Amino acid sequence: MSIILRLDRVMADRKISLNELSDRVGVSNVNLSKLKTGKVSAIRFSTLNAICKALSCQPGDILEFIDDEEENE
């Protein structure tokens, strides 16, 4: 089972840059970049809340669950 981060897709849909999102959310570019590329193992609810507010989206727009067993069938 895997959780896939789709922040890059939502940012592209909203036409927002990493710098602009960083300013709105109050999270460093480095940390947002790691989220954007999926190179994190956890995310704080406060960060997820701020991102969703800044992008006017739901957590499900950013996070996607993939069942590895179904993917291999």
19: domain CATH number is 1.10.260.40
Give residue 68's pLDDT: 79
Q: Residue 31 belongs to what domain range?
A: 2-56+63-71
Per-residue pLDDT tens over the stretch 41-64: 899 999 999 999 999 999 999 999
3-class DSSP state of 23: helix
Tokens 């956890």, residue?
Answer: 42
Using left for φ > 0, alpha for ψ between -120 and 50, and beta otherwise, residue 64 falls in beta
Long-range pairs for 31-39: beta carbons < 8 A, 24 or more residues apart: 32/7, 35/5, 35/7, 36/5, 36/7, 36/8, 36/11, 37/8, 38/4, 38/5
Give residue 1's pLDDT: 62
Q: How many domains is the chain built from?
A: 1
Tokens of 72: 């291999």
